[in-house]
Structure 1
């Protein structure tokens, strides 16, 4: 079955005349009749009854017409989209993002996007997750980039990748030479974490509870930069997403297990609202760039272990 078969069928169904339909699609009547017979042969059913010079749809033809019209409409819309994609995009793209994704992933995507689409203005607002949700619901943002919300409400969430959260300590910390650590081993360890208003903190609290672990949270800070500054100055640890870490040689990553805390970053849309052309293009770029972000790379290999007995890492 080819597209012309559907176009010819719809033309005849609309005109109920092979003569008028042939004029409409600019082919001879014999060619049109031949094409309709090919379509009927492929479907195994007659689509028209020829009664003298009159043409009427059969029951099968009437049932097939709605599907053929929808199929052609989708094809025509797709072709129009491809043609419009060849033209330069203009306008304003408004993106809401949480702090974590505004460190590297989003700026990298914005740079590539603007190189390809210099006539689009991109506005990025770094906001708390609840403010992103309000901005989407009010129509003030085209889309948001954040972790999966606890209660999406009127928002639609499209996951990009899964990432684990890791323990970060300074090079001189007692746990710096460990590659992995069970969550229970953080019991009574000094940590600086995000406040409980953050979904990441609530996830960590659930992991601590499941491991029957009670760390000493000596400070709460609402930015990754502030927590890492504490880690560099005091013998404390913090737990953050690996891709949010800057390449600082004095920090070490220790992977967590039993359980391993995992977050799902993604794109947030207002339910029922179709993103515009610029937003769709940017999200497509974001999906491709996010593939690499799903495999966090340690900051650097840990240096040689200090002298003295080393505590063996637990087996996985």
Structure 2
């Protein structure tokens, strides 16, 4: 009864704003489009949308069907893509979503040997602003989610693949550079630089500052790691990053890692996937490669290294 064309029409009318524009995108006449949806309404016994002057307003049934379209159509598109790859003897594609800014450098060190080992698999990496995190994984927009903060949902599986320590980054000449560890109170006069992430998801806030009732003098956000560390090296603020990443940059910038608290902040990078996909050979291979022991810079070490 409900066909793919019905779902596509709903999506396009919502996206384009009118029947005429949607008909043009779908290469249909407006009358054909209207007839198709009118016939569906008759079969369902309910209106999909109501006319208000020249505009259309989705009914409750129409809103529900649009939500179905937004879930089902990506699945159908993905199925056709995969089946086409199978028909051509191709392995497939691995779409990775990055929910962790500094993890990008770590990911590069995993992707390189993976591409060599799996030449028939295409790899695409999406930054967070290009997808919706858990929703993208559940909606089949991505196949793997790289995150330090897994959100467990039915049908998803998260596996820890890399341990690291979150540290404070200061300039070489900063007063805290020579201390064994920093206390929350010592950051009350500092400008804290971070990636543009909600405060509740920043470890330095939720695991270090806020439990002590402390806030920095000012909080500044910067999108790129290089600029952030340039600011820190020039005494414009401090930041919190993985120790391995700071030590890698310390070879070319005047920055120093300092432990956050006497015990430090231990973290892990997780790879999340749909549970049903964890048995796919090239997905499983990426997870296993990511779990291999790494050197101090986060570089994956092969047994021959």
TM-score category, normalised to shorter length = 0.5 to 0.7
Matching of residue 279 in structure 1 with residue 283 in structure 2: yes
Question: Secondary structure at 1:139's aligned position in 2?
Answer: coil
The aligned residue for residue 198 of structure 2 is 197
Deviation at 1:152, TM superposition (A): 2.8
TM-score, reference length from structure 1:
0.56
Question: Secondary structure at 2:202's aligned position in 1?
Answer: helix
Residues 1-316 of structure 1: matches in 2 within 5 Å? 90-97=91-98, 98-103=100-105, 105-127=106-128, 131-149=132-150, 151-154=151-154, 155-195=156-196, 197=198, 200-201=201-202, 204-245=205-246, 246=249, 247-258=251-262, 260-289=264-293
Greater C-alpha radius of gyration = 1
- The CA deviation string for residues 227-267 of structure 1, in whole angstroms up to 9 with x for no partner, is 22321233421111223332434111111115633322111
Q: Which runs of 5+ in 2 are unaligned?
A: 1-88, 300-305
Q: How many Å separate the matches in 2 of 1:116 and 1:131?
A: 29
Q: Judging changes above 3 Å, is the alpha-carbon distance between structure 1 residues 243 and 89 closer, same or farther for their aligned structure 2 residues?
A: farther
Q: How many Å separate the matches in 2 of 1:102 and 1:210?
A: 29
- The CA deviation string for residues 7-53 of structure 1, in whole angstroms up to 9 with x for no partner, is xxxxxxxxxxxxxxxxxxxxxxxxxxxxxxxxxxxxxxxxxxxxxxx
Q: How many Å separate the matches in 1 of 2:90 and 2:117?
A: 10
- The CA deviation string for residues 60-116 of structure 1, in whole angstroms up to 9 with x for no partner, is xxxxxxxxxxxxxxxxxxxxxxxxxxxx9832222222332211x211221111222
Q: Once superposed, what is the RMSD of the aligned Cα atoms?
A: 3.0
Question: Secondary structure at 1:173's aligned position in 2?
Answer: coil
Q: Judging changes above 3 Å, is the alpha-carbon distance between structure 1 residues 202 and 254 closer, same or farther for their aligned structure 2 residues?
A: closer
Aligned residues: 206
- The CA deviation string for residues 250-287 of structure 1, in whole angstroms up to 9 with x for no partner, is 11111111563332211111244444211111111111
The aligned residue for residue 42 of structure 1 is none
Q: How many Å separate the matches in 1 of 2:296 and 2:218?
A: 32
Q: How many Å separate the matches in 2 of 1:234 and 1:198?
A: 23
Q: Which runs of 5+ in 1 are unaligned?
A: 1-87, 296-316
Q: How many Å separate the matches in 2 of 1:243 and 1:223?
A: 17
Contact 2:167–2:258 (CA under 8 A) maintained in structure 1: yes
Deviation at 1:168, TM superposition (A): 0.7
Contact 2:199–2:205 (CA under 8 A) maintained in structure 1: no
TM-score, reference length from structure 2:
0.58
